[in-house]
Amino acid sequence: MEGLWLLTVVLVPVAFLGRDQIYSETVIAYFEVPKIALLRTLTGLMAALWLIEWGIQSRFSFNRPSNLRNTWLWPPTWPARLRNWIQGQPARWLSLAVGFFLATTLLSTALSGSFRVSMWGEIPGQDGYSAYTIMAYVLLYAVIATHLKSRPQLWRLLTAILTMGLLVSGYAILQQFGHDFLDLREITGGGVTSFMGNRIFAAAVMMMAIPISLAAALVSVAKLGNRTTQNWMYRWPATAGVVAIFGLVLAIQVLGLNYTFSRGPWLGAILALVVFVGLVAVFVGLRTVVRTVAVLLLAAVMVFIVLQWQTVARVFEMGFKDGGQTVSEGPSAITGDASASIPPTSGGGGSMVTVAPSTTAADASGLSKTFALDLSSAQRLASVKAEVSSGFAGGRGTHWKVSWRLIRDHPWFEFDSLNVPWLRPIVGYGPDLFRFTYLLQSPNEGEDLRPLEPDHAHNFFIHQTVEQGLLGLISALGIFGTAFLIGGRMLWRTRSGCPEEYKLVLAGLLAVLVGRFLEMMVGVARVSDLTVLWILFGTLAAMSTVMRAPAAATPSLATAGDAPGEEQLQAQRPSAALSRDWLWRLALVTWLVAGITMLTWVKAVNYPRAAMKISEAVEHIGSGDGQSTLAALDRAIELAPDVPVYYIWRADLYSAYLENPEATPEEGCSLQRDLEYRACLATRSYQSHLTGSQQSPFYYRSRQALANSAFRFKRYEDSVEQYRQVLEMVPSSWQLRIRLADAYIQNGQPQAALQPLHESLAMKESTQALFLRGRAYAALGLYRDAILDLDQALQSDPKLAQGYVVRALVYAKLGRAAKSQEDIDRAVDLGFDRAQLERSIRNAMRRSSGRQ
């Protein structure tokens, strides 16, 4: 069991696959999918081993007890039993808070607006807050809280966290200096992303590792000081060596955190270190404070030397480049390679924070530019004050305002009914429904005025309130509050008569949790940092057990405090009853382990397998092998039938066959005899879109792809209905209003097209909306209004051939033949066939005369 949690703490944060080996809905799927699969698989193994352990050691009997009132099956005894259980170890209050958190998650899932999404995830297999993933975190906590019992186990776990933090930070530094040999740098995630695909996620992990590393350093120094048998002449060099090693470790971690330019983790790390030093001063002693400051100063000196070395190298480089006017050609002291840039001082408006270019003046000297770049870290940190005072305009502030409207009003999709709406303030929408519901209130931002589509509120507790309501907020705050109280109580009780190393570990754990609490107020909690966080919660819950264990204690399979033992139990029970109980337990454990194995295979392992099949499909399509591409897509859908984007890609492949009749025919449609070949391709493309939209009914991209497919295959009535539903999912989109209006016009409903066109033009004036409104006016006989819109559209885009065609028809109906002929000539110049165009206008005039 211990090996599994050590693997979890090290492997989950650093797990990844090649960017060309795995494809899913998100750009960073090659990080997210393997991490989630690994977390679920390892926790599934823990659950299976725990069940086997229970089957071997449990005293549970399947025989009906003679007096039910004396067993835990009698509900009136539960309060007393719970009280006794907590009094045995007050740290179990934390387990109670975690249990409440799990209960609120399951309740919100059961009452969710979409049970499938809340249970398995917004995009199954990717990172998120689905109930399945939350259960994996809670199981990880429970295993550590109940099985971490000895000092050696604790030191191994802390060493694993330190090692993981060193790997993450070390690779971030390599990325900063252009040595990204694993090709993991993701510009969409902010440049230096280490193994996470986003600088915010990477920085959150580094922030938690720093206080743990500092605590480990002081524990190592304290252990050396306790070796009284050694002469001080031997002890001092050893102590200096330990301090130097841990100073280097901390310097690497601090440098890695610095290069992420993530202010939330920076502030969290600073607060954690301040809290740690304060707790050490109060509960350990001033001598240890001096050691703490010494280690931190040594790490700070190393960081300063590295940064100044970069600055000096930069200055010398500038000296050989004509006054330093080529600053962009070399690596900068802070941002690394030439393509990197200083992140903006305001948060991004989308789901990921973007990186803006540096704005150093072109006429500045090379030396001044160098120091301007060196100050970017301080500027980034100083911008926190300005950003808070301005409300995080366009970034977190927008997300928080929209989230508040969701919490207050609880809007829902018009095409669907939200069950028990009166309970939504209590239970929220349901886990992992944030992005879908955010779009209902999303504002238009950016040059193109497109709706924002974040998948997180950039505040864990606000996010939790949107998804799980007031209960979710209370349960999340309850875990942190209970952890602070329990940790403080343990520190207070151990202020005297307890080994120094335990106080240091407790101080480190509390410091991490305080810093993490602050970081989660502005950050985005994801699988890597949440895995470490839940492990630390479990470690804190187990600390009272570890502190009571003797120095040479070894972990035992039995639960602490379990009595009587199995041998005594066997002596107290008849052998027949023991045999019968054993068989029943064996059957139950076998059944449960088989269920966990199947669940883990289907809902954890199959997602990376499917994503790798998509990678094979990409390779096949690159070589022009359409049939192998289709086979790989079909296999991916078979492995992960609930990933909607796979259906879109398969439908696109059928459409590609349809658009390229000279290509080798698709075997399935060419061999069947029910439909004509092209009709078969069109049907299969549309059906693939339809199935994908049914798999995730609130994923607007699937519904929009279905609407586009219906429009393309001239199923205009269906396209109108689908576009209406897509617009209900993204009501602030002016582009979707244009598409809906186009479908209305093609379906012979020009009057219905006017409202979405008016709304679209009120949001943003566009050539396409003006053209379509002019076309709708023409169909309604409002020719002068049509001329006004068409004139404006053609003035905006003189090469809009369709605009000349429609205006030529309008002029013809107004009896202005010369103007009509001018537009016909312009349309012909842009590619229209004159004879066909004139014939179409004559037919339209004839139909109009016939109606009159």
In sequence order, what DSSP letters do the residues of 572-613 get, joined into one string?
HS-HHHHHHHHHHHHHHHHHHHHHHHHHHIIIIIHHHHHHHH
Q: How many H helices and E strands in the chain? A: 35, 2
Question: How large is the average pLDDT for residues 116-120?
Answer: 94
| CB atoms inside a 10 Å sphere around CB 323 | 10
Q: Tens digits of per-residue pLDDT, 193-235?
A: 899 988 999 999 999 999 999 999 888 887 776 655 455 556 6
CA dist 753 and 751 (Å) reads 5
Q: How far is CA 694 from CA 151, 247, 556, in A?
A: 52, 55, 50
Indicate whether 743 pLDDT > 80: yes
CA dist 832 and 780 (Å) reads 25
Lowest mean pLDDT among 151-160, 238-247, 423-432, 722-731: 238-247
SS3 114: coil
CA dist 540 and 546 (Å) reads 10
Lowest mean pLDDT among 377-391, 485-499, 705-719, 820-834: 377-391
418 domain residue, yes or no: no
Specify the pLDDT at position 72. 56
Specify the pLDDT at position 1. 82
What's the whole-number average pLDDT of the chain? Answer: 82
Question: How large is the average pLDDT for residues 646-675?
Answer: 89
Q: Are the CB atoms for 58 and 45 separated by under 8 Å?
A: no
The residue count for the chain: 852
Closest CA to 432 of 849, 14, 703, 130: 130
Band of pLDDT at residue 604, cut at 50, 70 and 90: very high
| CB atoms inside a 10 Å sphere around CB 417 | 9
Q: Tens digits of per-residue pLDDT, 671-711?
A: 888 889 899 999 999 999 999 999 988 999 999 999 999 99
Indicate whether 131 pLDDT > 80: yes
Question: How large is the average pLDDT for residues 22-31?
Answer: 89
Question: How large is the average pLDDT for residues 816-830?
Answer: 89
The pair phi, psi for residue 445, each rounded to 5°, is: -140, 165
Which residues on neighbouring strands pair with residue 332, listed in sequence order? 336
Closest CA to 691 of 645, 727, 728, 729: 645
Lookup result for tokens 């502190």 = 547
Lowest mean pLDDT among 49-53, 359-363, 671-675: 359-363
Band of pLDDT at residue 403, cut at 50, 70 and 90: very high
Number of domains in the chain: 1
Selected residue with higher pLDDT from 460 and 329 = 460
Burial class (CB in 10 A: 0-12, 13-18, 19+), 489: middle
578 domain residue, yes or no: no
Band of pLDDT at residue 77, cut at 50, 70 and 90: low
Specify the pLDDT at position 836. 86
591 domain residue, yes or no: no
Specify the pLDDT at position 364. 31
My answer on whether omega of the bond before 564 falls inside 30° of 0, hence cis, is yes
Question: How large is the average pLDDT for residues 92-110?
Answer: 94
807 domain residue, yes or no: yes
Indicate whether 327 pLDDT > 50: no
Sequential DSSP letters for 733-757: -HHHHHHHHHHHHHTT-HHHHHHHH
Lowest mean pLDDT among 534-538, 578-582, 625-629, 704-708: 578-582
Band of pLDDT at residue 654, cut at 50, 70 and 90: very high
Percentage of the chain modeled with pLDDT above 90: 52
In sequence order, what are the residues at sequence separation of 6 or more whose Cβ sits closer than 8 angstroms to the Cβ of residue 299?
A: 247, 248, 250, 251, 254
Q: Are the CB atoms for 655 and 638 separated by under 8 Å?
A: no
Cα Rg, the chain, nearest whole Å: 32
Specify the pLDDT at position 527. 94
Closest CA to 197 of 31, 13, 20: 31
Question: How large is the average pLDDT for residues 567-584?
Answer: 57
For 215-239, give the secondary structure using H, E and C.
HHHHHHHHHHHCCCCCCHHHHHHHH
801 domain residue, yes or no: yes
Specify the pLDDT at position 330. 34
SS3 324: coil
Lowest mean pLDDT among 350-359, 430-439, 625-634: 350-359
Band of pLDDT at residue 342, cut at 50, 70 and 90: very low
CA dist 664 and 534 (Å) reads 54
Question: How large is the average pLDDT for residues 322-337?
Answer: 34
Indicate whether 479 pLDDT > 90: yes
In sequence order, what are the residues at sequence separation of 6 or more whose Cβ sits closer than 8 angstroms to the Cβ of residue 192?
A: 172, 175, 176, 185, 199, 202, 256, 259, 260, 261, 336, 340
Band of pLDDT at residue 576, cut at 50, 70 and 90: low
Percentage of the chain modeled with pLDDT above 70: 80
My answer on whether omega of the bond before 34 falls inside 30° of 0, hence cis, is no
Q: Which domain holds residue 791?
A: 762-852
Band of pLDDT at residue 81, cut at 50, 70 and 90: low
820 domain residue, yes or no: yes
CA 113 from chain centre, in angstroms, equals 20
Burial class (CB in 10 A: 0-12, 13-18, 19+), 149: buried
Closest CA to 213 of 99, 299, 112, 120: 299
Burial class (CB in 10 A: 0-12, 13-18, 19+), 799: exposed
CA dist 261 and 175 (Å) reads 13
Indicate whether 347 pLDDT > 70: no
**CATH for 827:** 1.25.40.10
* 3-state DSSP percent of the chain in helix, strand and coil, to 5: 70, 0, 30
CA dist 626 and 620 (Å) reads 7
Specify the pLDDT at position 86. 66
Specify the pLDDT at position 30. 92
Q: Global pTM?
A: 0.85
Which residues on neighbouring strands pair with residue 186, listed in sequence order? 191
Specify the pLDDT at position 358. 32
Indicate whether 504 pLDDT > 50: yes
464 domain residue, yes or no: no
Band of pLDDT at residue 440, cut at 50, 70 and 90: very high
Specify the pLDDT at position 549. 66
Specify the pLDDT at position 352. 33
378 domain residue, yes or no: no
Indicate whether 650 pLDDT > 70: yes
Q: How far is CA 602 from CA 41, 128, 130, 344, in A?
A: 11, 18, 16, 42
Token pair of 723 as six digits: 């576009």
Burial class (CB in 10 A: 0-12, 13-18, 19+), 852: exposed
Q: Are the CB atoms for 416 and 696 separated by under 8 Å?
A: no
CA dist 436 and 432 (Å) reads 9
